[in-house]
Structures are given as structure tokens and as C-alpha cells.
Amino acid sequence: MRKTLTLLYVVILAASGAMAQVDRKALRHKAIGKGAVVGSVAKAGVGTLVNSPRQWGRGPDGLAKRAASNLGKNIVKQSIQAGVAAAHHENLHYQRSNLHGTVPRVEYAVKSTFIVPRTNKPGKTVALGRVSGNLGAGMVSQAWLPAAGIGAGLASGGIGLGADVGVNVAREFWPRKHRKTRGK
């Protein structure tokens, strides 16, 4: 476990040089903004209902521990993701397709989770920031979770990647916002 955490720390330090290129305001918003806090509390509510991890109990203390754990995991994920994406010149913002039909749009959304546009030149690249952010957050969060291990960390990272796929599919099919035009 220590070797894994040390390796992740080295990756974070290597990516920290790229952090100069990161939009810190956007990172702060994604890591600890309203959406992040609401999402962490919502996940904590679900965790409390199913009592997972059960060592934390179902009361207000358990809810608070789960919310803090979820927020901490999100902070780690967003920090690793932003640093690695900046170093690897990745644009992690989802760009909707102009495809027609359900299957092509779902395929596009799934592929766009792992293959993203480059920021320094034309073309696409593997979304190392997204993958390392999810796996890194899954592994680091095992440090404060009860009865955890490497397998649980990898599983948590995989679940995070699956959630990112689901979010991209939802973004693909969510109705587009149209600007209201003023009439004279």
C-alpha cells in the first residue's frame, strides 16, 4: 500500500509542473464547489441508507464521515486529473456529437470518455488525466476508509470511470440550451 501511495505521490509531483497551466478557479469549482459538495452529501446519503461502510454507522456521524470521504476523494480526483491532463495536453470537456440515432451517439459518448482532443495540436489522445484521476482517487481514498485495500481502490477507480461514462452519455442526450433572442 505504501509503495502504491508513494508512486501516486511521485505522479502528482511530476504533474505539478503542469499545474501552472491549469485554470485554478475551474479546478476549485470542480473540487469544492456547490456541485461537488451537493454530490458528496447525496452520495453520503445513499451510503448511509445502505450502511456502507458499515463501520461508520447510520447516524449523523456516519453521514458526516461519508460526506467528508466523498469530498476528499473528489478533491484528489480533480487535482490529479487536472495536473495530468495539463501535462498531457488533454481537453477533458465533453463535446457533443452531431450524430443521429441512439447507438452511434452512445458509442461516441463512451469513446469520448477515454479518447479526447489535444490542446497543443490537432488530433486526439488517450484521456490519461481522467483514467489516472479516477484510479488515483480510488487508491488514495483507501488510506482513510476502514478495512480497505488495493483491490478495493482499483474497484473504486473503475466505478469512477463507469460513472464518467454515464455522465457523458447523459450529456449527449440532455436537451441543448438555446439562447433566448429578444424580440423588438
The residue range of the domain holding 147 is 2-173
Report how far residue 18's alpha carbon sits from residue 43's, in angstroms, rounded to the nearest whole number.
Answer: 31
Residue 179 lies in a domain: no
How much is the pTM? 0.81
Nearest CA to 135 among 76, 175, 48? 76
Per-residue pLDDT of the chain (184 residues; tens, 9 = 90+): 556 655 655 566 555 565 566 788 888 888 889 999 999 999 999 999 999 999 999 999 999 999 999 999 999 999 999 999 999 999 999 999 999 999 999 999 999 999 999 999 999 999 999 999 999 999 999 999 987 788 999 999 999 999 999 999 999 999 987 666 665 5
Identify whether 184 is part of a domain. Answer: no
166 part of a folded domain: yes
| Domain annotation covers residue 180 | no
As for how many domains the chain has, the answer is 1
Residue 62 domain flag:
yes
